[in-house]
Chains A and B, each alone.
Chain A
Amino acid sequence: EVQLVESGGGLVKPGGSLRLSCVGSEFTFSSYTMTWVRQAPGKGLEWVSSISSSSGYIYYADSVRGRFTISRDNAKNSLFLQMDSLRAEDTALYYCARRYIDGFDIWGQGTMVTVSS
């Protein structure tokens, strides 16, 4: 079954760092643009960052640019999100998603990040 599995979430203090991971299986991971989307508790979806298949193109939302870094390791079918200088407003469930045509066809189950003192 084609799937994405996120990990690395947790509780962190404001100003702290966290690294999220997402592993893909049963598809050619290296062929797809990958994306992180987050959802704050009780709120809607917010796009965070995207990275092209060979890491040649990287995009960030204004809300995280300069603090978050997206990367991937195609040899390990893995996507990463390094999150630094975390703020309370970064508290959310973080999903990784596979880009397909003009949208996202496969989503993980999400990993929760809580920023609180």
Chain B
Amino acid sequence: QSALTQPPSASGTPGQRVAISCSGSSSNIGSRTVNWYQQLPGSAPKVLIFSNNQRPSGVPDRFSGSKSGTSASLAISGLQSEDEAEYYCAAWDDSLDGWVFGGGTKLTVL
């Protein structure tokens, strides 16, 4: 069982906005920043969001992140077929002295 909890699946139609949640605790999300990763089938993960809501250069502004308390969320607006992938949240955990990942959310574009 992952330290961070994500819904196993999400879906939307092209052009829609979808949000993926990530729930943690006071020892990780509650006291640390969150990052998000996209993993396309057969590929290595790619960072989408740093520091709760910062996008690296090259990541479209359709992707946005937010955090409140011990939860975080990744929003994807203007959904596109190429957004179909697995999405993971991650944060440092002060109790475990290590990184924790969410279990992943498989996004399907209908």
The residues in A between 42 and 72 inclusive whose CB is less than 8 angstroms from any CB of B are 44-47, 50, 59-62
Give bound CA distance, A61 to B46, whole Å: 22
Residues on B facing A (Cβ under 8 Å): 2, 32-33, 35, 37, 39, 44-47, 50-51, 54, 56, 86, 88, 90-92, 96-104
Residues in A whose Cβ lies below 8 Å from that of B56: 105
Q: How large is the interface on A (under 10, 10 to 19, 20 to 34, 35 or more residues)?
A: 20 to 34
- Of A37, A95, A102, which contacts B32 at CB under 8 A? A102
Given contacts A45-B104, A105-B50, 7 further A-B contacts (CB under 8 A): A37-B101, A44-B104, A59-B98, A102-B51, A103-B90, A104-B47, A109-B44
Residues in A whose Cβ lies below 8 Å from that of B46: 107
Give bound CA distance, A14 to B39, whole Å: 30
Name 27 interchain pairs, CB-CB below 8 A, sorted by A.
Answer: A37-B45, A37-B99, A44-B86, A44-B101, A44-B104, A45-B37, A45-B39, A45-B90, A45-B101, A45-B104, A46-B101, A47-B90, A47-B98, A47-B99, A47-B100, A59-B97, A59-B98, A100-B47, A100-B50, A101-B54, A102-B33, A102-B92, A103-B35, A103-B47, A103-B90, A104-B37, A110-B44
Contact call B44/A95, Cβ cutoff below 8 A: yes
